[in-house]
Structures are given as C-alpha cells and as structure tokens.
Amino acid sequence: MSETRLDERAAELDAADELGKRRELFALEDGTVYLDGNSLGALPRHVQDRMADVIGRQWGELRIRSWDESGWWTAPERIGERIAPLVGAGPGQIVVGDSTSVNVFKAMVAAVRMAPGDRDEILVDATAFPTDGYIAESAARLTGHRLVVVDPAGVPDAVGPRTAAALVNHVDYRTGRLHDLPGITAALHAQGALAVWDLCHSAGALPVGLDEHGVDLAVGCTYKYLNGGPGSPAYLYVAERHQDRFDSPLPGWNSHADPFGMTRGYRPAEGAARGRVGTPDILSMLALEAALDVWDGVTVEAVRAKSLALTDFFLECVEAYAPPGAVTPLTPAAHAERGSQVALACPAHPRSWRR
C-alpha cells in the first residue's frame, strides 16, 4: 500500500476510534506517539492533583489519622476490587501490594503447599520473564520440588500426577505471543495441578477471564497497561475456593487476622487480605488508585479491539516501509495468539529504509 494510502487509512481509523478522545486524559504532548505502554504506561493527567492531595492533606495535615480517615489501611483490598473486573475476577480475590516478583514467590510456594497428594515437581514457562524462572527455582528448592522448564505450549504434555503447580506468562514479554490460558489451565487441572498465571503483559490490554477459566492463582504488575506509575505495586489473585488453604510463605503482620493485637502467634486473616505482607507503599498505591479512574466507562473488550487494530496497522506499515528481509515480525499475525505489542527481529542493521 502506498504511503499516502497508509496516511489516509490512519486518519480513517482515528476518526472511527471510540476511545480516541481518551488520549486527552493522559499527559502526552501533541504529536507524540507513545508505543511503550507495555513497559511503562503514560501518566493520567489527574494523578498529579490527586497526589498533591494525598501528600499535602492526607499525609501533611491528617498525618497518622489517614490510616483510617483516608482509607490507607484498606487500600490494598479496595484497589484490588478496582483491578478485579479488568481481569475477570469477582470480588474479594485480589490484593494489591509488593512487586510482581514477591507475589510470584507467595503464589508459587502457596500453590505447592495447597497441591493435592504427594507431588514433587513444579513446571515453569521457559519463555517467562526471567524473574519468574529465578523465583520458581528458589520456590522449588525451598519446598523440595524438582523444577521442570517447559514452553507454554508443552505444558499439557509435560504435566503429570507428580506436578504440583505450573507458572506461565499469559503473554510472552519478548514476542508478544498470547498463550492459551483456558487450555493450559484445563490441562493442569486434569492432572490435579494448580495453574499460576503471570498477567503483567495482558492485564489492561485484553480480557483474561480468571474466574471463567478457573485459574487458581495469578499475579501481575500495574505499571504497564494499568498506568500506575514507575514501580507501582503489583497484585495477587487467590481464587476464593483456595483462600482458606492459602498458606503464605511471607506471613507478615498485615495479613494477620488481628494485626493490631500484636500477638506472638500468627493467625491468618480471611480472604484476599491473607496475601498481604507488611506496611503498604501508600504513595504508589494511591497513585495507582487514581490512575485506574481512566477505566471509568471503558471496557477491556474495547481496549482489546483498539489494540488489535493498532497492531494490525503497525504490521501493515512495517510491511510497506521496511526493505524486504530487513525485519521479521515475531508477534503472531493471528489475533487469537497476539498480545498487545509488536516485536520485530532485526538480523542486520537495515541500510536502506524507505522514508
């Protein structure tokens, strides 16, 4: 397609875009095309004012009273409820806090402790973000399990009666490949194993359906497609049916049934709060809470439709502009296998790019 035709198509797609006006909600200069939301989401403009209130009034004036009066203490569960509909979770199953890495650790050790019968094996996604592999290896060592590294598509063949749990990334962080969450979860369940999903590259970009597909545990970050800001806290999903048996390897005082009782013995809280550890990172957490307002009136399905249209169009432009053979798309062309990014392999530096 010619360059002019592509310009025209871009204008047509923009005109038909029901989410187009939402750009104004973000701090993006005119003319900027920001394509790094899969790494750090852009700043929703109103977060700055909200944080001025959090710092100036809640911290500066109310000080310690804000733990109750500004709802600081209950923020991890309250913000979890805001994330829940975005990942297809009913209420009471998500708690926000700590990093993704820390939540991977909690989820994997807890999954192994909950797995039925006598099992001695953990599966981990060979293509996962490296932190998942490191932590799964440590969780395996700590719990006396053998770690088996396998591609997501190989999980249904690799899982067996010895498998306690598997940790899989929903979308491959490098290629943008979307893995079959329903199929892999069902294959794990058929052998009695638990499914732990890392949603860092899918939450906020595409429908996940945690409850619908019977996922056991899930973790994800909030600084990418949820626009929570650099280092904003991650979240942990524990399916309601597992919460009574969720035995955290990090049972801090924030997850105690009576945290202010200051008793010596640990007694876990009920529900999602069981996934808490220590004092929440309130400033980052409240920036995330404010950022989630951009979802008001927006469905994940609408974002998914736009994301697919954008990645389709981007791939079309690559085909038109890149000299033959200069780049190879690693991101699958099929929508059912595509996350929300385009990854291109560049074997050699292209010398003659068409302008």
Token pair belonging to 80 = 């979890």
Regarding 222 and contact with ligand PLP (CB under 6 A), the answer is no
Can you spell out the DSSP letters for 147-189? EEEE-GGGHHHH--TTEEEEEEESB-TTT-BBP-HHHHHHHHH
| Residues in CB range of 301: below 8 A, 6 or more apart | 207
> For residue 235, what is the enclosing H or E element?
strand 235-238
- Tokens 């296998």 belong to residue: 337
Comparison of 132 and 268: residue with beta carbon closer to ligand PLP = 132
In the list 70, 131, 138, 191, the residue contacting ligand PLP (rule: CB under 6 A) is: 131
Comparison of 218 and 322: residue with beta carbon closer to ligand PLP = 218
Comparison of 199 and 272: residue with beta carbon closer to ligand PLP = 199
User: 93 with 238: CB under 8 angstroms?
Assistant: yes
Comparison of 99 and 143: residue with beta carbon closer to ligand PLP = 99
Query: What residues does 211 pair with on adjacent strands?
Result: none
In the list 105, 173, 197, 237, the residue contacting ligand PLP (rule: CB under 6 A) is: 173
Comparison of 13 and 343: residue with beta carbon closer to ligand PLP = 343
Comparison of 200 and 290: residue with beta carbon closer to ligand PLP = 200
In the list 111, 215, 234, 291, the residue contacting ligand PLP (rule: CB under 6 A) is: 234
**Footprint of ligand PLP on 74-113 (CB under 6 A):** 99-101
Regarding 306 and contact with ligand PLP (CB under 6 A), the answer is no
Comparison of 100 and 243: residue with beta carbon closer to ligand PLP = 100
- Torsion sign (Cα): 20, 23, 28, 30: positive
In the list 77, 121, 132, 289, the residue contacting ligand PLP (rule: CB under 6 A) is: 132
Regarding 221 and contact with ligand PLP (CB under 6 A), the answer is yes
Regarding 125 and contact with ligand PLP (CB under 6 A), the answer is no
**Least distance in Å: CB of 316 to ligand PLP?**
27
Task: Name which of 235, 247, 205 is nearest 80 in CA terms.
Answer: 235
Helices (H), the chain: 3-15, 47-53, 66-69, 75-83, 100-114, 130-143, 155-158, 181-190, 282-291, 300-321
- Distance between CA atoms of 168 and 133, rounded to whole angstroms? 10
**Footprint of ligand PLP on 241-280 (CB under 6 A):** none
Regarding 66 and contact with ligand PLP (CB under 6 A), the answer is no
Binding mask 181-220 for ligand PLP (x = CB under 6 A): -----------------x-xx-------------------
In the list 127, 163, 169, 227, the residue contacting ligand PLP (rule: CB under 6 A) is: 169
**Least distance in Å: CB of 190 to ligand PLP?**
25
Query: What residues does 149 pair with on adjacent strands?
Result: 124
Task: Name which of 98, 101, 58 is nearest 288 in CA terms.
Answer: 98
CA–CA distances in Å: residue 284 to residues 75, 93, 99, 232:
11, 21, 12, 5
**Least distance in Å: CB of 17 to ligand PLP?**
27
Comparison of 68 and 151: residue with beta carbon closer to ligand PLP = 151
Q: Which positions touch ligand PLP (CB under 6 A)?
A: 99-101, 129, 131-132, 169, 173, 198, 200-201, 221, 234
